[in-house]
Structure formats: C-alpha cells, structure tokens
Amino acid sequence: MNEIKRGIIILKEQIINQIAAGEVVQKPASVLKELSENSIDANASSIDVIIQNAGKTLIQVVDNGQGIYPEDISLAFERHATSKIYNIEDLYSLYSYGFRGEALASIAAVSRVEMFTRTADLELGTHCLVENSKIIKIEPTACPVGTNILVKDLFFSVPARRNFLKSDNTEMRNIWDEFYRIAIPNNNIAFSLTENDELKIKLPPTSLKQRIIDIFGKNYESKLIYYEEEFPFGKIMGYISTPNAAKKTRGNQYFYANGRYFRSPYFHQVIIRAYEGLIEKDAIPAYVIFFDIPPQRLDVNVHPSKTEIKFQDERLIAASLNSLCKKALGISGLTPGIDFDAIPTHIFSINSPHTDKSYSNINSQFPHKPLSDTSKLFYQKINTQKEIINENYRELFEEISMIEKELEEKNENNKDVVLSSDNKILITKMKDGILIGDVESILQRLIYDQLITNKNNINAGCQHVLFPVIINIEPKYMGTFLSLQSLLEEIGFKFEKISNNQFQVIGIPCHGYIDEDNIESFIYRLLELPEAGLPLNNELLFYNMALNAAKKQLNKLNSESLNPLLANLFSLTDPQKAIGGKNNFIILSTNKLLQLIQSYE
C-alpha cells in the first residue's frame, strides 16, 4: 500500500481543545474536582453535588459563592482565562485551587454545559449554554446568588474516550474519592452528594476531627491522634490513626499542601516507617496531614491534574514528618519510651526569611503563628543542613536517607519485571531465559492460600458498609441462601432481613477481598454453585473470593508491586500450580525462545 504524504497543518481550535481536555478531564471525577474547586475559590459556604449514572449523564455542582458577572461568562469558557493569577509572580503566592484557566474550557470541549449564575449585587443572573466549546446561548434569568453548573453527556463529542470509561460502580467510587478529598480540608463548608435522585451524604460545617470521623466512620472517634508543630519551612498538623486502626488495604490516607490534596509515595513511606514495630508489615495506617508552607517554597504547577507537588525543602519536611509522627505516637503511649527532650528544639525556632507577613492558609482552620525571625542561619545553609544539626537530630536524616535508598532500590529492581499494558501478563528475567506469568492466576493463588492459611481466624472482624446492599432472593434460591448465610456470617458478612425475599448486607469481611461494588454479584454467583453440583463449604467460598478479589487487584497493579508479588508466590508450596489446576507461569530457556522465534511463521 502506498503511503500518503501529508504536510504539516495547524489543528482546528475544536481539536486543540479536545486534546487539551484529555489532560484535565480524564473521567467524571475530574469534572467534579474542577467544579468543586471553583466553588471553593468563589468563597462558597455550601456545595451540593448531584450525579446521574456515575457522572456519565450528569455532574451538577450548586454553590452559594460569589457568582460570575455577565460580561465575564464568555471569557470563563476560553482556554487560559482565569481570575486567580495575573502574572508569573502570582504563581509563587498562590492559595487558590485553580489558576491554569483550563477547567471550564476543557469540560466544555467534551460535554454539554449549562450554567446559572448570579452575583449578590445584581437582581438577575445569567443562563448560559455551551456545547463543543461553542457558546449557544447567554441570557438573563432569575436565579439564586452563586453558581449552578450542569455538565451533561460527558465525552459525547469524543466517543472513543467514552468507551474507555469504567463501570458505573468504578466511576462512582472515583467520584466518592474526589468528593472526600475536597470535603476533608474544607470542613467549614457544608457538602452534600446526591446520586440518581437519592441523597447519599450530607456534611454540615464542623471541626476538622468531626469531618474526618463523618467520612472515615464513627469507629475512628477514639482512634485519631492530633499533632501540630512549627518548623523552619512552615507547619505540619493533622491526624494519624492509632496502630490498631491500620488496615491491609489502602484508603483514608490524605496529604494536603496549603489545603490542596496531593500524592506522595515518598512521604507515605516516611509515615509507614514511623509505625515500624507497631503494625503488621502490610498494614497501612490512616492519616490526614496538612503542610502549611509559604507558596514560594513549593511548585503546584507540575501537571494539569495538580495532584503532584514539588517541595523546595522535601528532605527536611520528610525528616520532620517522621519525627512528628513518632512523637505523636510516643506521647499517646503507643511506642516504646522515646526521650523527645533529647532532640534539640532550637532548630525549630528559626524562621524562613521568605515568610511574608500577609501569609495565611485560607483553607486551614488553624491560626498561623508566625515564627520570630531570630536568624537567617538555617536558610543560608539549607543545602548543608546536616552540618548545622547536632548529633541527636542527625539520625532523623539518616533514617530518611535509608527510606530514599529503599525506594531507589525498589524502583531499580522493578525494571527487571515487565507488565503488559492490560496488566494480564508479566515477564521477568531468569538465570537462563525468561518467566512468563498469568498475573490474574498468580493473584488468585496468593489470595486463596492466604484465606486458607488464616481460615481459623478469618471471622475476626466485620466491616460495616457505608450504604447497605439489598439482595433480592428468588424463591428457587431461598433454601440455598439460608444455608449459605451461616457460612458467610462465619467469615465476616452480616445480613438483615427486610422482607420474605429481601435481605440487606450491612457488613463485609475486614480483609478487603470483597468490596461494596461487587457484593451482589458475588452472592448471586455463590447461589448458582449447588446447581453445578458443587458443595457449599469454606474452601469453595475462599475460591470464589480469590477469583473476585484478583480481578479487583489486577487493575491496581503497578511496577512497584511486581517483585513482592513474585516473592510471595515463590514462598508457596508448588508456586507454579494455579488454584484451578493449570499453570501460573511458564519458564522458557534461551534456547527454547530462539527455537520458537526461528520456527514462527
């Protein structure tokens, strides 16, 4: 086939907008994030979120903020149009969530947008319709003060993108995650979320601790440890959980810099290290940690998603975070005796010469206490910090160096294992050849063996679900369900009867291998097993749990988890054998590989 020679062209504005939208609007939760952050920047005291069909049909955010003036409406949907910054210097004194001027333009490029907005000084508001980046209508209308924005038919103009959206349960889970990330630091704002015309949660303005409990669950009421301390780079404050609240699964871990959520595997490892000896190896504590830092000492303009932040004093912050977590656990009597008085505090009385008198964190409910500017010594020698810290404090940096080294080694080791783009196949080098593994089969075997090994104490805990899951049992399955119910309750499920053929699941096992999204399908699959001639027993339950959990974990795999995955597999008896009787992996020698390559047609 002859190739068609193409010249270089400048793309049309609509195509440019749709490409740019891909970085900002990746899924329905991305839309919720951008719209909610706009509401917070507009000083709203109430934000209501309304979702239809996991955000694919409708994402609506209603606030009582400042609103938008009629003359600014058309500009609001232009790319790089913003009211948050006016010059490059503003990036270094940034306290607003938004500043790139991309959110509304990106959303409007891939959806149908309708907006009602009014400022307090005007009697009438404005109604606006936008589709495919084009403003269809702007007209006066009666509406409350604030902004009510409806994003409909997400990705209707980019069908290929719509095809890549996950199931409704998964997308809704992402929306909940984003909702929580926004609601936690803004505890002075009332939030609500309505899904498919049903109010799911209503959060009134409250204290930070109560907001965390409202989201994490009442069982955290006595399991949160508060700490707050000033450092040369700013302030660290927040809550960490007691060791007995640590779980095997991720969740309830939040970092915020000046009220902005961000991810940091580095800081996460620093916290895990502080719990060393207090929690099981794979357990993860809950935490909500706020870094109150002058904006000029960090960079939030790393990626359009704004969940990556670069810190100028990252190693010092890490050392201080590790020390503070240990101190909080020690004061609470949860660690062996630590003489914190032996750690010098004089270093924490040195203020940054960059601190501006007007600096305050608008998203923090804690008052900022400026430190006295007694010396510039610390920041003059910030790059040689080990030289100005005495021997008692030096060990903190040595511990941080160990954590950094472990992370570097982990990243280096992960290069030896390759994961296919769909996470289904892994390939790793062997002494003479390669190992090719079925990742889902490996996960199934690991989970099944863990459940079987711990079957005597598998019923140790039941985790209550946020929203009960209703199960409708057909009459022909009722006898099977009643037999199954006692087995399920032995391993951590909890049921309540609603009617003759309806039950609701109000609790699931704490081990995390079953989640709220797939309770219904898991139970229905079990009900069909006796018809296939399979007896109901714990082994069969664990087998089906392993099948279910492996699919869930398959989507969460990353390069960092591959080496531990293989290490755990090879610690088992007969690691090559899958729970279905087939192979988890094959090993091909170099000669065998060459033969396959040469014989392939």
CATH of the domain at 505: 3.30.1370.100
Do 31 and 101 sit in the same domain of this protein? yes
pLDDT digits (tens, 9 = 90+) for 554-598: 877 776 677 778 888 887 888 888 887 888 888 888 888 888 888
Residue ending a domain, among 387, 411, 435, is: 411
Residues in Cβ contact with 242 at an 8 Å cutoff, skipping those fewer than 6 apart: 223, 224, 225, 332, 334
Do 213 and 190 sit in the same domain of this protein? no
Within a domain: 429: no
Do 41 and 97 sit in the same domain of this protein? yes
Contact 186/46 with Cβ under 8 angstroms? no
pLDDT of residue 5: 52
pLDDT digits (tens, 9 = 90+) for 405-463: 666 655 555 446 777 777 788 888 876 788 888 988 988 898 888 888 776 655 556 77
Do 90 and 128 sit in the same domain of this protein? yes
Q: How many domains does the chain have?
A: 3
Residue 176 is encoded by which pair of tokens?
Answer: 């909940």
Do 92 and 131 sit in the same domain of this protein? yes
Do 214 and 264 sit in the same domain of this protein? yes
Residue 258 is encoded by which pair of tokens?
Answer: 């000046």
> Chain-wide mean pLDDT for the chain?
77
Do 184 and 217 sit in the same domain of this protein? no
Within a domain: 400: yes
Within a domain: 430: no
Within a domain: 562: no
Do 305 and 399 sit in the same domain of this protein? yes
pLDDT of residue 351: 34
Within a domain: 275: yes
Tell me the pTM: 0.59
Using pLDDT thresholds of 50, 70 and 90, give the confidence band for residue 56: very high
The CA-CA-CA angle for residues 41, 301, 360, to 5°, reads 45
Burial 140-165 (b: 16+ CB within 10 A, else e): eeebebbbbbbbbebbebbeebeeeb
The number of residues in the chain equals: 601
Domain housing 120? 13-201
Say yes or no to pLDDT of 342 above 60.
Answer: no
Residue ending a domain, among 349, 382, 411, is: 411
- Integer Cα distance of 575 and 583 in angstroms: 9
Do 89 and 40 sit in the same domain of this protein? yes
pLDDT digits (tens, 9 = 90+) for 231-282: 888 999 999 999 988 887 777 999 999 988 998 999 999 999 999 889 887 7
Within a domain: 130: yes
The one-letter code for the residue type at 47 is I
- Reference 206, options 184, 232, 228; nearest CA is 184
Within a domain: 257: yes
Using pLDDT thresholds of 50, 70 and 90, give the confidence band for residue 532: low
- Integer Cα distance of 150 and 143 in angstroms: 14
Helix, strand, or coil here: 134? strand
Q: In this structure, what CATH number is given to the domain that contains residue 159?
A: 3.30.565.10
Mean pLDDT of 193-217: 94
Mean pLDDT of 289-294: 93
Residue ending a domain, among 544, 562, 585, is: 544
